Structure 1
Amino acid sequence: MPIRFCQGDIRKLLSHFNMKPERSSTIYWGIGRDGIWRTCKFDYHKDKDPVATGTAKIIATSLKFNTVLEMKEYIDKYL
């Protein structure tokens, strides 16, 4: 069974890593509290809208997580 996220989860995660959109773009970038530079393409609509599983995998990779499960565990632990 795939791991599901809603757009609100991803938005909170981007905020947690101090990532801001680049000049009214869907590209977010920033340096997190751990000192790692991250960039991520994310098109936000509403908090409750689901994120496709393939998109979640790409977001997890761009945020320097090894797997989607690792990203889910991070969200559950810190957010």
Structure 2
Amino acid sequence: MMRAVCLACGAIKEDAFVPCPKCGHLPRTDDDKARHLMLTEWYFSMGKLEYFAQKVKNGERLEFNETILGRFIGYVQNGQLPSE
């Protein structure tokens, strides 16, 4: 299991690419999938994920580094997980 933050409602869900159990959001675009993949336990501690989740719940916009986001979009398109 690789818990992730739902970027639609801020809930913690079981995986980046599954529907959110709270709001039902399912990442469909490469961009949305990449953003959800970035906010997983694979890369952040649960404490940090909870911090991001609270920001989403508060209606705050999360800023993503465009260069890193571009790399993650490539990972999604190629069907591979980054190792960094």
Q: TM-score range by the shorter chain?
A: under 0.3
Q: Which has the higher strand share?
A: 1
Q: TM-score, normalised by structure 1?
A: 0.27
Q: TM-score, normalised by structure 2?
A: 0.26
